[in-house]
Structure formats: structure tokens, C-alpha cells
A and B are shown apart, each in its own frame.
Chain A
Amino acid sequence: MRDIAHRALAAAVQRGVVYASVRVTDVAYRRMALRNTVPGEPAAEHQSGLLVQIQTETGRGYAATTHMDAAGIERAVADARARAREFPFAAPVPAGAGPRGTYATAVEIDPFVVDAEEYYAVMDRAARTALRHPAIRLVEPFITASRVTKVFVDTRGSELEQRLTTCGGGIRVFAERDGHVQRRSHGILQGTHGQAGFEFVSRDDQESRADRLAQEATMLLDAAPCPDTTTTVILGTEHLALLLHESCGHASEFDRASGDELTFAGGSFLTPERRGRFRYGSELVTIVADGSTPGAMGTYAYDDEGFPPRTVPIVTNGRFENFLTSYSTAASAGGGDGGGCARGEAWWGIPLVRMPNLSLQPGALPLERLLEETDDGIVMETPATWSIDDRRIQFHFSSELAYEVKRGKRGRPFRNASYMGVTPRFWGECDAIADEASWTMWGLAACGKGEPMQAIPVGHGASPARFRNVHVLGSR
């Protein structure tokens, strides 16, 4: 891979550039699943290719190809250069000597050498546990693993090699009676994942979780529909992880604020003039982005422009402090030393500003106390569906499981619960965050952004938190 990268860079330099970089990427992926106790169709994926970026005196162009022989490299370099000359664009040129380094995820058990039988054994135990509950008709456990190996070189001498290994999975449990179905699952959308080896799933207590999810799905069959009301809501940690992602992570990406993503993903209500002044949430709300948390999905040593990740306070005590930036966008964003958040999908994705790990800092209250101190409200756990507007102002999320809280005690369950909110108002009503004991880092395997859509892994940590005056809805 290094050889290919250097050959492509040399070809670019030979044609004359102000700056050029080459990223060669190899992606391996495997997915195994059960449907009840029957193995599903195992799937594997293998992608490799390169992305050339060329900056000339006038502009910047990119070319990506899976053809990495001499002719393919030449064509990609010629294409990138031609693209760079088509339109004027004043891209910042990184100065100084580039870094050289390697990084690899700490892996105890390589998920790509583990026998399929072990994958199936982990899932089978969970499936059988769930199926002991009579109302459970369908259990769908799954495990995925990925390995992204990438080499980045550029004309300032950067030479970086990273190998990021992830593993994770999830389980969906369906209860059914008289045609009425309820689902419970673990994680967000596609389960939860970590930058780790097979130990991430083999050491997880999936049987206990499957048992709990089966109980909850069964219980929801008899649950009352969630009422339409305005009340206090306590969001569980995985639900908050998704809310953070949608309402803060994407809102604080500077390329959204600057209009780069207007036609598809949209803009942001967090505009440059609001930086340092805007009240995003209550005093309790502090949200920090970092790309260095060991084991988290959004962790890396260098981004796809060759810069290390930084720890960035996005919201401090409720005040909007900083944007997430790439090197290419940092100067426009202002605010000193920026960058470190540029990532692109696989072999072809132009690096965009992508949130790394973005987390809500824990509060001081044990979760039990937080519940005890809640007189009347609703707890919402795993997210079921979600929708948010293009500027990340107004959202509507639904939840697989909701509970009533009365005088500090968990009460009856509700089905089909959802809530709507306006981001700064909603976070402004946050009056309690549980402490570190209930803080959990969740891993999303794929967050979509860009044209065409690029999928990137991200991490989000949170403890459960309480919000007042929330507009709660049942199913219309």
C-alpha cells in the first residue's frame, strides 16, 4: 500500500502541484447473523482503492479509483489535476513537515481469525435465552467486524499508516400476540460497536441482555399507548447518545455552518456569530468531542488530511464554544488551532468534517437519586426512529420502551412513545444528569453525510439525563 501511495504521489508531483496527497485504503468486513437459532447468510466485503487530491495554483481536484496498476494511477492523477484546474478554489495549503507514524487498534482477539462457530455460539446462547419467553417469535442477533487499513502520504512528507479494527453487534427481539408486535433491541440502529477485537462481543453478557429484552418486549404487548402530554422526560443513555449525535454533533460540524452541505445534509443553527455566546443548553450541559478515547468508534491517530485529533469542548456549561473542523475549514471557522476531524469513507470518500467521539459529560447525581427526585415523568430508553430538520433545530424521536415515573418510582410501561423538541430549548430544560457510574460509550458503525452519502463510524458517551417540559406524543 505504501508503495502504491508513493507511486501515485510521485506521479502527481511530476505533473506539477502546489500540494498533493494520496490515501490508499483497504477495507475488510464480515457480518454473521442468526434468525432465531438458524444461521443467516454470512456476508463479507473487501474494498480497496485510492484517492488522490491535487491542489494547483488555481484550485483543488480529487480522483478515486479501484484500479491501482500503473495505468489506473496515471489516469487518477490526470483526472485529479484536470479537476483542480476546472474551477478556482483557494484551498489552504498545509505548511511545515508532515508527520510520520503508525497506529493500530489494540486488539486482543482478531475478529478475522476467529472461527465462524465462535460467532454463532455467542449469538446462539443469546437467541436461545430470548426464545425461552413464550411470546418471543423472532430473535435476530448479529455480529460484525471490520478492518480499515489506510496509508496517507502527502507532499509535505506525511507518511501515516493506520489499522483500525472494530467489532460489535446487536440483538433484536420481537414479541407477538394476536398480530400485535413489539420490538426491543440493544444499541442504536445497528447495535453497538467498539474499536476492539472479538473480545468486545465475547466478553459481553449477551444472555442477560437477551433475557431482559425478551421480558421487556413481552411486557410491551400489554402496555398502554403513550399519552400525548407535556411532561418531564428522562432519556436513557443510548437514547441520549443518538440525540447528541443528531442535535449537537452534526450541528457543530463547521462544513454545515459554512454551507458546504446545504443541498443534502443541510446547514446548522450554530452559526459562526453564535460561537462563544449562544446558549445551547442549561448550565449542566457540557459536551466534548475527542478522537482519542481508547476503544471508541470515532478514535484515530491521524485524520484523512494527516492531522491528529483534538479534544474540543463543543458546549461548556450550556454555552456553544467551538465547531468541529478539518484543516481545510479551520481557517474559515476561526478560533485558533483547528482541524483534526476530516474523514472520508473507504477508498473514495473526499474527507469531510466528521464528528469523532462526542460525549455528554456526566453529572453528579446517582441515577437512582435522579429517579427518586422525579415526581412525575416518563423514562425513554432505546431509540426506535428519528427525524430532524436540516438546520438541526427541531426533532422528533421515538422510543422502543417508555416507563411512567410517579413519585420517584418506575411505574407502568408505555408503547409507541415519542417526543419532539427544539434543540436549544430542549437542552435548556436539562436539569439533571446522572453520574459517571451510569455513563456509557456507544458506538455507531455508520453515520451518513455528504454527496454521495459517506458512512463513517462515530462514538457517543452519555449518562441518563432529565429534561423538563417535553412534548411527548403517542402514535398518531
Chain B
Amino acid sequence: MGGETWAVHMRSALERTAAQSATVALLDEHYSLTRFRRGVVHQNLTREGVTASVRVMVEGQLGQIVATVSGPEAVAGLLDEACALARIGGRAVSERPLGATNGDDVTIDLAAPLPPAAVRRDAIEAMIGHARQRGTVASGAYVTYRTRTSVAVMGGPVRQTITASSYLRTVIESDHASGYAEQLSPDFRALDPTAVAREAADKALVSGSQRTLPPGDYDVVLDHVAVADWLRFLGVYGFNGQAATSGASFLRDVWGRPAVSPLVTLWDDATDPESLRLPFDFEGTTKRRTPLVTEGRIEAPVHDLATAAAAGTVSTGHANSPFGLQLLPGPAPFHWHMAPGTRSRQAIIASMRRGLLVTRMNYTDLSDRRGGVLTGPTRDGTLWIEDGEIRGPATDIRITDNLLGTLERVDAVGDTPRLVYDWWSPMHSYSMCYRVPVVKIAACHLSGASALD
């Protein structure tokens, strides 16, 4: 079914509903997952489906329903159900439209083609083969999405976009360590499976005796994915408009003030072709570049229509996806960018007398969310640096430190950003993604080691 037909169905349903305001979002996904463990593909799945989210206001009361549907013709029935729900709900904060009503109908096709089965197979075999050649074993996944996202607002336009992403990742195990690497791109043709495997294998094969570090403060280089693991929490519990308006954000005392290293400049931009793009949010607000941290100054929270109304400002276009796992209550940055520095990763490592290289984190959380205390263990490539060189693997460690404090102690930023996910990204179509360089943090607090002995 074509985009025009979708738009006709959505608009027709919105014209007939009893709601005083309504927003409809439709997600038509084609998803492919191939997972392999220790050289063998054990899960190979294709998934397709259409899901609708309908949000209405009736007599000032709100209701929401999410449902799998056969197609856009089912939207009218869902609007009726949502209206019935709204009649038992509470009053909205303000009787404002539930979506952005300005602008024209638009369909933006940003999707590169999906990889043919042979390409997917060759990619996985290349990764497994590279690992085998080097006496190691590879586990990993190749994930692709192709998604049509349609958002229709009562009294406003129908906006549609088609997007795609391809994601390769691997953990490679040697007899003494593991290494991790990933590549994420809107276009599968940009992925280099052998390079992914090589990078992970290089880390797994770093020689030298394993060092277990006692707790203390250490200089740490965060590789790209580890930087993403850090930034996620800056977004979810810091820049989140809901946390900000309720006073729970750990950034509450530093809005508009310099609070971190001047080397740190961050922004959110879902329109940058170097990232995964999304031209509008799930309320239909047009996406634009939003500054988050400018040379160390903390800018402002990001908003959807509700949090913007509460804060007396306008939406920044960060209404969260109503689909899938709701790990994130409230609006948050989803398309992170960090300004690169001037030094290569190699030069940063070469400048260190002693410290650690951290590839990725696992199950990071804030042990004190209002205080912004981050705690998380490292995994798959924790390497000991001494006299400017990587000297060997280190036992995975736990970092427990104040998130803002660590960003204040950033004293080097790499010159080459990469597009990555963080550990928590559940690989939904609209997971947080990050185009970030490596970052060095001085005196990061290591609170323990993942060692049985």
C-alpha cells in the first residue's frame, strides 16, 4: 500500500473522530536479525508488521492505545477505542493540540536498500572467517530495519518517512580475553564486516598478562561505544524534559552554565545524513539541530509538546516513540553528536603514562539518579595502558563516579567520530544513536573488579 493511501486513511479517520484533538502514528517495519554464537548462526529471523499508536483528547481528557493492525484502515476503530479510554482518564495539563498542526503533507524517503540475503551471509561468514583465521571465535549479530513511519495530526499534516539502518557487531574471544566492535549505518554498503572483526580480534588478542587493578582513580580512554554508554544517562536523567520540569534532572543546578570541560560540545541532530535520520518526531514536530552542551556550557533540556507547555517553551521535536519498550519516560535526545577534537585515538593513548582503555560498558545505571552518579562495569576490551602503549588486558572493572564530574575532567577528545549504539539501545527502530569520538577522562573512579578470585 502506497504512502498516499496511508495518508488518505489516516486523514479520513481523523476527520470523523469524536476527539477534540488526536495524533496517529503508524509504524510499518521490516526487520531482519541474524545472530551467531561462537562461529555458528543460531537465530535467523525476519519480522514484519504494522503497529499503530493513537492518542486523543476528549473533553479535555487524554487516552492512548497502541495496537498491531492490518493497515491504516484500522485507525478509525482505534480512534473510537482511544476516545472511550479518554473518557475515563484525567484532565490534560492544558487543552492544546496533541501534535504539530503547522506544515504540509510530506513523504521523505531516506531509505537505502536492504542487503540481499547473499550480502548478509557473506558479511557473517567474513566475520566468522576472520576470527577463525586468527585463532579466535566470533559471536555477533547482523540487524537491518526498513521502516515507514507516518504521523498524522488532527487539523494538521500527514508526515511520512521511510528509513533504513544496518548494524553489525561482534564479540571475539581469544583464549585469554574478548574484544568488541560494531558498525552502524543507514546504508549497508558502508559496513565493512572484516574491519569489524579485525578491530574486535585485535582487542581480544592483546598480549600480556592480565592485570587486576585495585580500586582507585585512573585516567580512562572511552572508546566510541563507551562514550555512548555514558551519554545515554546524560540524556535520560539529565536533558530529559520531563525530568527537567519536575526538578529531578541532575542538571537542575547547571542549566545555562559552564559545568563540564570546554572540550565537550554535544548536540542532537536527527537531520544529519551521517546519523540515522528522522525528519519529525512522534508528535509531528519537525526535527532540527538542538544544542546540548557548547564548549562545556550546559544548554537546555529537550522537550515534547507536554513538557514544553509545562516549562513555558516550545517543543524541540523530541517526543519519544510510543512503540516498543518504554525504557525512557519523557523526551530525550536520540541522535547524539559530539564535536571531534584534534588528536587521534593513537595520540591520546600515546600521551598517557598509565591508565585504561574501555571498549564498552554493561548494564550501566545511575546509582543516584538525582545526584547523577553513574555506575557500570566494563566488558569486551578493557586494556591497560602504560607509557603511551597498550600493555595488555585488564580484568573488567566497575566505574562509579559522578557523571558531570567525569565530563568536567575530559582532557582529550578524539578526532574521528563514529556512529554507534549504546549498550542499552534495544535495537528498536528508534534507539538512541551517537556519532561520537573517543574521549579521555582524567582520574575516573574505579570501584571494583569483576574477578572471582
Contacts and interface: CB of A to CB of B under 8 A. Distances in A.
Nearest to A69: B70
Interface string A43-54: 111111100000
Contact of B373 (A64, A83, A259, A476): A476
A391 B45 contact: no
Chain B at the A interface: mostly helix, strand, loop or mixed? Answer: strand
Given A83-B45, A262-B37, A475-B368, A66 B428 contact: no
Interface in A19-54: 32, 34-35, 38-49
B51 A62 contact: no
Contact of A66 (B43, B62, B69): B69
B274 interface: no
B45 A396 contact: no
A46, A262, A266: most-surrounded residue (chain B CB, <10 A):
A262
A416 interface: yes
Contacts of A347: 49, 68
Contacts of B258: none
A394 interface: yes
Interface in B2-44: 31, 33-38, 40-44
Contacts of A49: 49, 68
A422 B41 contact: no
A263 B170 contact: yes
A418 interface: yes
Indicate the size class of the contact surface on chain A. 35 or more
Interface stretch (B135-143, B262-270, B285-293, B295-303): B135-143
B448 A420 contact: yes
A141 to B, nearest CB: 13
Interface string B346-386: 00000000000000001111111111010111011000000
A34 B45 CA distance: 40
B246 to A, nearest CB: 8
A10 B43 CA distance: 23
Contacts of A32: 88
A286 B12 CA distance: 61
Interface string A407-418: 000000000101
A266 B88 contact: no
Contacts of A452: 31, 33, 143, 426-428
A47, A49, A452: most-surrounded residue (chain B CB, <10 A):
A452
B234 to A, nearest CB: 16
Contact of A39 (B89, B178, B375): B89
A317 interface: no
Contacts of B42: 89, 260
B63 interface: yes
A451 B367 contact: no
A79 B46 contact: yes
20 contacts: A42-B63, A42-B85, A43-B64, A44-B65, A45-B67, A48-B68, A62-B45, A63-B46, A66-B68, A66-B70, A88-B41, A260-B37, A262-B139, A263-B180, A390-B380, A396-B448, A451-B143, A451-B427, A476-B400, A476-B402
Please provide the 8 A-B residue pairs with the shortest distance between their CB atoms, ordered closest to farther: A39-B90, A66-B49, A87-B41, A389-B377, A453-B426, A116-B88, A262-B139, A394-B450
Interface of A: 32, 34-35, 38-49, 59-67, 69, 75, 79-80, 82-84, 86-89, 116-117, 120, 179, 181, 258-264, 266, 269, 347-348, 350, 384-391, 393-394, 396, 398, 416, 418, 420, 422, 424-425, 448, 451-453, 455, 471, 473, 475-476
